[in-house]
Structures are given as C-alpha cells and as structure tokens.
Amino acid sequence: MNPDPHRLTHSRLAVILLGVLIVVAMIAALLPQLSKDGIPRSLPATASLEDSYDRSGFMYASHSYCFRVTDDQLLNLLIDRWKLTRVKDLSSSAISFTATANGSPQWWPSEQSLSTFPEQYRHEERHRYWSVWVDREHSRLWAETGRL
C-alpha cells in the first residue's frame, strides 16, 4: 500500500515550519533587546528610568532620558552600544537639542547645567548623535539620542 502523498507533504511542511520557528527563536534570543533608540528595554538592576521625553520636528528627532543609577553598569552598556567616547574638552560638550528647544520638559537640565558636568560622552555618525552626561553627585545619568 502506498503512503498518502498529501500526508507526506503536510509532514514535510510541518518539519520545515518547525525548523524556521527554531531559527527565528534563536536569532531573537541572540539579538540585544533594544528600543528604537538604543536604550535597553531591560535595564540593569542598578538603574531605573525616572523620566523620558521624545521630540520630533521636520528635520530632527530626539529622545531624552533621566536615569537614577547606583553604579556604572548602564553607563558602560551605553558606552559600548552607542560607541561613546569621553568628552575631554568641555568647550565642545555633548549635544543636547532638548536643552535648547522651546517647550522642553522642566526636569531636563539647561544647556548651561549640562555643560558643567565633568563627565560627558558623545558620538556622532551620519546625521545621528548620542550623548550622555553623568551626575555622580545626584546619582543621575542623562542620555539623549537623535537626528541632527
């Protein structure tokens, strides 16, 4: 007796679909869990998000965050993921459109305040920017990313 050709086709299809699902699951497990702007969806236990602000306009967009931190885990993660380098000359401080824009949130520091933080990090690439300011005195990490 010959096996049913349709059953064989369904079996093969089921095996192929199972294989595809396994590959997709493996890829998803290996990809970092990031939001659209690179902030980890799952923060280290030593960091908590206090505030965030998204702003977009005709030619720009920015995403700003204030984190309470108790160590450098989040800072090190952002330095690695955003390819940040420390700002050595504070006269060319990290970029913040949030600090200079009209209608910025009250909780975001002014441009003058941000420029006084001695620990700043930045990266610019292809009309994008990533900036971090560390306020060790108040256990805060300020982060902003956007389009130039």
Residues 23 and 52 reside in one and the same domain = no
- The answer as to whether 65 is a domain residue is yes
Distance between CA atoms of 16 and 11, rounded to whole angstroms?
Answer: 9
Range of the domain at 104: 47-147
pLDDT digits (tens, 9 = 90+) for 75-119: 999 999 999 999 988 777 778 878 777 778 999 998 888 888 999
Our CA dihedral for 94, 55, 33, 78, rounded to 10 degrees, sits at: 10
Residue 70 covered by a domain: yes
82: closest CA among 145, 147, 148, 29?
A: 145
40: in domain: no
Q: What is the pTM of this model?
A: 0.72
